[in-house]
């Protein structure tokens, strides 16, 4: 039997092609697309304006991605929810739902595990399993919309995995998520966070998208960055910043620099001055993140007064800066720890 096609990863155009090839009426494509991407149907059986016969055929032709929530944790302090989803092959990924004044934000995973090996991150501890398909990224947003009963306005790709290491699927996902025939989330409300895979930043800059690019910088010298993040051995900070400048020039979108603050590691006055220098050179927004402790690692977040000092100096230099508000502290632990805990119990 031919490999079944993952129908939720197809564009509307591709779906038209599919229906034509199968000898079905072309308006069926539009109907099915709407069931999947607007009404958020969980299976072909819900598509009640298709004939029973067509629904049965679809089950033979296609796979239908529907993630199953196996664990949901809700913060008692701010309503943040963490979801552990099971994929059709039994793999697990996690996603986070955050409620803000300006709307609801979902943080999704892009891979099962991660191969980037950053020293402070929990997602990388169990190694890399596989890439997520576009439908599996998309369905984290869809399943959460259904489970919370609230519209999602912002999506950040900052969960488990390195999105630019799953480039083609990421791109397809963004196009589906922001498609006017689907959920129609504004590209300006989509953020992709990367550890800094330079050639793919250059590529992404040329895709004519309006998404925000966030860079996990975390260090201001190559030596320190290399000791924290293996990817820094391949691309220097200078090359990374040049790629960021190129992204800004091409898209007009201001870059976000994420700076995870670790006690005694990257929070000295000299680090602070170097960060200011970088912030002045690039049109960017700096997000200071007191790092979350990870059980298996010895890093600790910087003290509040260090984070404040960084913020003050950046502001004094007219650099746009925010301190990442900690959401769902009580259910949190860092990214990847929910999945890790569940894998451990299995
Ligand atoms: N691979 C991508 C996206 C996933 S990580 C990237 O590197 O950007 C999302 C963000 O969480 C990154 O900025 C990452 O560096 C940060 N992060 C990882 N471990 C963390 C921890 N223990 N505490 C706080 N932030 C962490």
CA-to-CA distance for 171 and 132, rounded, in angstroms?
12
What do you get for the CA distance between the two ends of the chain, in Å?
A: 33
User: Would you state the structure tokens that stand for residue 264, as one six-digit string?
Assistant: 């005694």
Residues touching ligand 1 (Cβ under 6 Å) are 116, 120-121, 158, 162, 193-195, 216, 258, 260, 289, 291-292, 294, 334-335
Q: How far is CA 288 from CA 73, 215, 224, in A?
A: 25, 12, 17
Determine the atom of ligand 1 nearest the C-alpha atom of 157.
3
How many angstroms separate the most distant Cα atoms in the chain?
A: 69
Q: Whose CA is nearest to atom 25 of ligand 1?
A: 291
Q: Between the CA atoms of 108, 93, 292 and 120, what dihedral angle is there, to the nearest 10 degrees?
A: -110
Active site residue 284: no
Does pTM surpass 0.85? yes
Domain with CATH 3.20.20.70 in the chain: 68-345
Residue 320's contacts (CB-CB under 8 Å, 6 or more residues apart) are 254, 284, 285, 286
Please confirm, yes or no, whether 94 is among the known catalytic residues: yes
| Centroid of ligand 1 to alpha carbon of 36 (angstroms) | 31
Structure tokens at 160: 């488990």
DSSP-assigned letters across all residues of 72-133: EEE-TTT--EEEEEE-TTS-EEEEEEEEETTEEEEE---EEE-SS--TT-STTTT-EEEEPP
Contact by Cβ (8 Å): 36, 7: yes
CA of 147 to the centre of ligand 1 (A): 26
| CA–centroid distance, residue 178 to ligand 1 (Å) | 24
What is the total residue count of the chain? Answer: 346
| Nearest of 95, 108, 111 to residue 155 by alpha carbon | 108
**Token code pair at residue 137:** 């990224």
Instruction: Assign a CATH topology to domain 5-63.
Output: DNA polymerase; domain 1 (1.10.150)
pLDDT in tens, the chain (346 residues): 568 999 999 999 999 999 999 999 999 999 999 999 999 999 999 999 999 999 999 999 999 999 999 999 998 888 899 999 999 999 999 999 999 888 999 999 999 999 999 999 988 888 999 999 999 999 999 999 999 999 999 999 999 999 999 999 999 999 999 999 999 999 999 999 999 999 999 999 999 999 999 999 999 999 999 999 999 999 999 999 999 999 999 999 999 999 999 999 999 999 999 999 999 999 999 999 999 888 788 889 999 999 999 999 999 999 999 998 777 767 765 566 677 777 777 6
The atom number, within ligand 1, closest to the CA of 116 reads 1
Separation of alpha carbons 108 and 145, rounded Å: 13
Q: So what CATH class is 68-345?
A: alpha beta
**Comma-separated ranges of CATH 1.10.150.530 domains in the chain:** 5-63
Residue 240 main-chain phi, psi, to 5 deg: -65, -45
| Per-residue model confidence (pLDDT) at position 297 | 82
């Amino acid at each position: 039997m031919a490999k079944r096609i993952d129908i939720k990863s197809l564009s509307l155009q591709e779906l038209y092609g599919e229906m034509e090839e199968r000898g079905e009426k072309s308006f069926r494509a539009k109907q099915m697309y709407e069931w999947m991407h607007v009404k958020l149907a969980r299976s072909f059986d819900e598509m009640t304006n298709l004939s029973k016969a067509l629904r049965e055929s679809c089950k033979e032709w296609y796979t239908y991605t529907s993630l199953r929530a196996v664990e949901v944790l809700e913060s008692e302090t701010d309503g943040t929810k963490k979801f552990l989803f099971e994929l059709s092959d039994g793999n697990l990924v996690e996603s986070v739902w955050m409620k803000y004044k300006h709307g609801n934000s979902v943080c999704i995973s892009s891979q099962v595990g991660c191969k980037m090996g950053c020293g402070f991150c929990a997602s990388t501890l169990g190694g890399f399993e596989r890439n997520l398909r576009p439908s599996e990224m998309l369905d984290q947003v869809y399943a959460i919309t259904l489970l919370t009963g609230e519209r999602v306005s912002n999506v950040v790709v900052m969960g488990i995995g390195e999105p630019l290491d799953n480039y083609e699927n990421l791109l397809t996902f963004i196009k589906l998520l922001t498609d006017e025939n689907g959920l129609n989330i504004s590209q300006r409300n989509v953020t992709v966070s990367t550890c800094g895979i330079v050639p793919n930043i250059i590529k992404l800059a040329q895709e004519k998208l309006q998404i925000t690019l966030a860079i996990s910088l975390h260090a201001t010298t190559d030596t320190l960055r290399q000791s924290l993040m293996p990817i820094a051995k391949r691309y220097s900070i200078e090359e990374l910043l040049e790629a960021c400048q190129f992204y800004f020039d091409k898209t007009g979108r201001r870059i976000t620099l994420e700076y995870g603050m670790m006690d005694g590691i990257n929070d000295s006055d000299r680090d602070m001055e170097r960060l200011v220098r970088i912030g002045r050179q690039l049109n960017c927004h700096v997000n200071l993140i007191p790092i979350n402790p990870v059980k298996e690692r010895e890093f600790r977040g910087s003290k509040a007064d260090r984070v404040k000092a960084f913020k003050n100096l950046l502001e004094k230099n007219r650099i746009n800066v925010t301190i990442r508000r900690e959401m769902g502290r009580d259910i949190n632990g860092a990214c990847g720890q929910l999945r890790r805990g569940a894998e451990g119990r299995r």
